[in-house]
Amino acid sequence: MLLVMVGGLVIHHYVSKEEAPPRAFTELEFAGADTDHTGSCYSLSTVLVANRTTGGAARTWTKPRDGAWSLMLDAVTEGYGGPVRVFQKFTFEKGGNQVRLVDVEAAKGMKTGIKENVDELLEMPNALHSTPVDRCLSPGAAGYLFVPRR
C-alpha cells in the first residue's frame, strides 16, 4: 500500500510539473525578422527577461511540436468599461543554432505580425544593453537591430 502511495506521489509530481523549454533551447540566439534570419545577438532567455515576461502576466509554456515552444502571456487590464483580458502567445522554433519567432496570436487590437513583434521584442534588450551572446562580445560584432555597447 505504501509503495502504491509513494508511486502515486512520484507520478503526480511529474505529471503536475509545469512544462518549460530546456536551457539548451532558451540559450539559443534569437533570430531577426529578415529573410536571412540574422542573429539578434541576444539569446531567447535574455530577450524574455528584458521584456519582463516573468513579471505582470500569467505565463504558460506549451510544446506544440518537437523543436518548438509556445509562451502564453495572459493578463487582465483595466479598461474604461471594466476589466479586459489581454493575451499574447508567441511560438518559437529552433532553426540551426538559432531560435525563431514563427507565430504570434494575440488579443484583439494587438499586433500579430512576425516582423513587428520581433522588432518590438528586441527593443528592450537593446535599450538595456543586455548581455549579448558570445559571438557578439567582440567590438564590431553585428546583429539584427543590434546596438553594440560603446
Partner 1 sequence: MRIVIFTATLLALLASLAGCKRSLDERDVRAFIDKADNTARKRFAPEICELRGKDFKLHLKFQGHEPRVPPTELDMDRKLFCKEAGNFSRLRQYELSRNSIGISIATDRKTARVIAEYVETMPYYEPNTFPRTLDDFREFQVVARHDESIVGIESGDLVFLSTDSESSQSLVAKGSVSLPYD
List the grid coordinates of 117. Answer: 513583434
Between 91 and 130, how does the x/- string for binding to partner 1 read (CB under 8 A)?
----------------------------------------
Q: Do 120 and 135 touch, CB atoms closer than 8 A?
A: no
Among 10, 11, 54, 77, binds partner 1 (CB under 8 A): 77
The only residue of 13, 36, 66, 80 in contact with partner 1, by rule CB under 8 A = 80
Rounded to whole angstroms, how far apart are CA atoms 123 and 11? 42
Q: x/- string (CB under 8 A) for partner 1, residues 49-68?
A: -------xxx-x--------
Smaller CB separation from partner 1, 51 or 60: 60
Q: Rounded CA gap, 87 and 59, in Å?
A: 10
Query: Alpha-carbon dihedral of residues 17, 46, 121, 51, nearest 10 degrees?
Result: 70
Asked if residue 139 binds partner 1 (CB under 8 A), the reply is: no
| Closer CB to partner 1, 76 or 141, in the complex | 76
Per CB under 8 A, the list member of 37, 38, 75, 131 interacting with partner 1 is 75
The number of beta carbons lying within 10 Å of the beta carbon of residue 92 is 26
The neighbouring-strand residues paired with 84 are 77
Q: How far apart are CA 150 and CA 14, in angstroms?
A: 47
Considering only the stretches 42-50, 61-69, 71-79, 139-147, report the one whose residues sit in contact with partner 1 under the rule CB under 8 A.
71-79
Which residues of the shown chain bind partner 1 in the complex (CB under 8 A)?
A: 1-2, 5, 56-58, 60, 74-85
